[in-house]
Structure 1
């Protein structure tokens, strides 16, 4: 029950707060690669084609506008991470800022839902790609997905240091795949008008800036992933410095890569062909580097998918660990392994939840719905920083930002939610609403056990 001392196998691992400590091994460079790996796996491999269909050759400009929108919230996360560097940071900060366990519970589980559906989706994508490369049957893909999840669970149980080094390896390969696109296509640069947009007759607006803003709504989602950095803050060395440096560096590197890839893609292929291609970057590679065996880019995709799943698995388990110490989830989820210093029971609990999700094969709309939940979380987190900055007695972090930035960030995220609900299909908002209703119901059932206040 909440309020009961959390038992850990190894009392000497208890920190000054009386909670079992996780292993602090992450530095700024690893944190930057951790955030970069999460962002690069957020869909740019397929998203760039959809964006080109909306914006034409100006897709690179849409990425820049999306970067500005995403940076507003990223600065908020960097500032909050420097103030409150702890696992399950989003749930802790939301509860502290709004003085409401309900909001902390909703924020924490919304992020956890996003992470778990991402892990489940990526396990299926990994299995399908591996089956395609090896010529295996669809029935075999089910076992490949399960084997992938078991391997992932073993790695996360092993320790944060090992998980981070695998993340570094995957991120380098993942980024290398995108840089390879640029390298083979850079000779095409300058061959097209980079401001060409779809003509009004094809359903596009005749106001270029409005068109770019519409494209930015889509490309904004390629920057999702930066929020994962907050949940490993308790495993950072000097987190007040490491979190802001790593997060902002990751955003900067992702932006450079995205813009370079976008310019290359529309230079190599006409934007109409790019929009119609089932695998846009694969189509670019086939034209710019026909000598490269398809299996090479297929293997790179496996690393990108695995990296996204790894980052989200770590995020979900650390959220469960952190929320257990707030009294928002059962206390046994907060236990830490004496030797490995990982939240082993939280990790195993995530495996139990994510395995059936990965096997049912019908979570595409669920994954889309969790994007809406994440945007709601971002709006709340921006609002949380506004409240905390104006509250007497709150400690300041080493990375403080002007009040106008979180205010703008909250406005942008709320606007993106409205755009998605109004212009998209109804199923994703309906599922998001059902998920929120489920979270509220779970809170109502568990609330008698959640009486501990945030210190």
Structure 2
């Protein structure tokens, strides 16, 4: 009775998110900074056939996206991947590893975007005399202020940024449509064209462009703040992935039609170069502004995701209990938000964290493989909730195999820097778990009690 009374008195997260805001959040998490620079990198590898790489990576991402939609319908809880893996494998260590691997990917992304925003502000407003670290710090403080204000305010800010960045992508498509059909969409770089070489390039390109679809998993951490989550979460997640795919396909065709792929691959800002050629009347500073909104949105959605992930893991007993505290007035996990702010400020001071960001895809592919495997176990386990959106177990099983295959392709592609960074981060997380845990049994007992009869 005492435990129930304490639970009833504790502030809870506010269910204020409907389908439109959730859809905008999902789109904002995918239509972020990645596509604005990734087209050029993909062109180096795939030539004008970059659309194939995006199509394959979409198929791979959609498999896991369907798994996440099922999880959201069955278990609408904050903590996302960490909650599901602990429930499936009954191992706090695995849940801890998965949860903090996702959090690490978000933190490195936020720090990277803070520095990108700082450089773009310098270029757009002539602030070369202002230290980038100071601009990055100001940006991070604004982000934290938005999150502390409330989830509805955070998602409205996300919606505004999403509209701006989507408008930027639609602008690229609109000014480039007249060029469609002027270039071959099957012009491969040297090594392509042969069946074996082409297949290898497609898989390598899919691993690279998979980054553009990363973000759909962020929606899972909003489950406790979404209205009717069993229905809204799957619908919002799948719609966001399909809309993003349509935009990406059009961007790919437009980019290689307006600018030859070799020039596109060499351009420092490929989409800005496309607009400059197709619409010279559009001011350069305008597209810099759009880029700032896109980059800021990536940081915002990662910050929301990471704060809810820490909150959910703290509720499971995997992280210190204060991280699960919710502000009585604003109904946000304020301790988690402030703790992350301190960490991200430290990371942003490193300046270039591109090496850590390069390992993000590998970390998340690893997480996706484990989460897909967890869903297979839960689907086949008697007594588990069914949810309104259901899949046969073969779909997440195939999703896990695809993620593992993409990991193998990336690890064997020659450059071992990203794999070594990813392995180092995973090892550090495990060491942190060993150093901070009391006992596995204690954590599991807290989890079981909090989850009893749910």
Aligned to 2:194: 206
| Cα displacement string for residues 72-92 of structure 1 (whole angstroms, at most 9, x for unaligned residues) | 000000000111111112111
Pair 1:25 & 2:16 matched: yes
Q: In the alignment, which of 71, 74, 82 is matched to residue 65 of structure 2?
A: 74
Aligned to 1:46: 37
Shift of 1:20: 3.9
TM-score (norm 2): 0.94
Paired with 2:201 and 2:350, the residues of 1 have a C-alpha distance of 38
| Cα displacement string for residues 76-121 of structure 1 (whole angstroms, at most 9, x for unaligned residues) | 0000011111111211111010110100000110011011111111
CA distance 1:185–1:60, change in 2 (3 Å)? same
Higher alpha-carbon deviation: 354-363 or 75-84: 354-363
Aligned to 2:51: 60
8 Å CA contact 1:174–1:300 kept in 2: the answer is yes
| Cα displacement string for residues 129-155 of structure 1 (whole angstroms, at most 9, x for unaligned residues) | 011111112643211100000010010
Q: In the alignment, which of 174, 180, 188 is matched to residue 189 of structure 1?
A: 180
TM-score (norm 1): 0.94
Paired with 2:374 and 2:223, the residues of 1 have a C-alpha distance of 18
Q: What is the Cα-based RMSD across aligned positions, in Å? A: 1.8
Paired with 1:93 and 1:424, the residues of 2 have a C-alpha distance of 34
Q: In the alignment, which of 241, 247, 270 is matched to residue 237 of structure 2?
A: 247
Shift of 1:178: 0.4
Aligned to 1:419: 409
Q: In the alignment, which of 23, 26, 30 is matched to residue 35 of structure 1?
A: 26
Shift of 1:187: 0.5
Runs of 4+ off more than 4 Å: none
Aligned to 1:142: 133
Paired with 2:51 and 2:184, the residues of 1 have a C-alpha distance of 12
Q: In the alignment, which of 380, 386, 397 is matched to residue 390 of structure 1?
A: 380
Q: In the alignment, which of 319, 322, 326 is matched to residue 329 of structure 1?
A: 319
Pair 1:119 & 2:110 matched: yes
8 Å CA contact 1:74–1:248 kept in 2: the answer is yes
Paired with 1:179 and 1:446, the residues of 2 have a C-alpha distance of 48
Paired with 2:372 and 2:154, the residues of 1 have a C-alpha distance of 29
Paired with 2:268 and 2:193, the residues of 1 have a C-alpha distance of 25
Aligned to 1:339: 329
Paired with 2:116 and 2:356, the residues of 1 have a C-alpha distance of 15
Count of matched residue pairs: 442
8 Å CA contact 1:337–1:343 kept in 2: the answer is yes
Shift of 1:235: 0.5
Pair 1:266 & 2:256 matched: yes
Aligned to 1:365: 355
Counterparts of 1:271-350 in structure 2 under 5 Å?
271-350=261-340
8 Å CA contact 2:49–2:188 kept in 1: the answer is yes
Aligned to 1:171: 162
| Cα displacement string for residues 2-59 of structure 1 (whole angstroms, at most 9, x for unaligned residues) | xx979xxxx89x55xx864201111112111101111111511111112122222221
Shift of 1:216: 1.9
Which segments of 5 or more consecutive residues in structure 1 lack a partner in the other structure? Answer: none
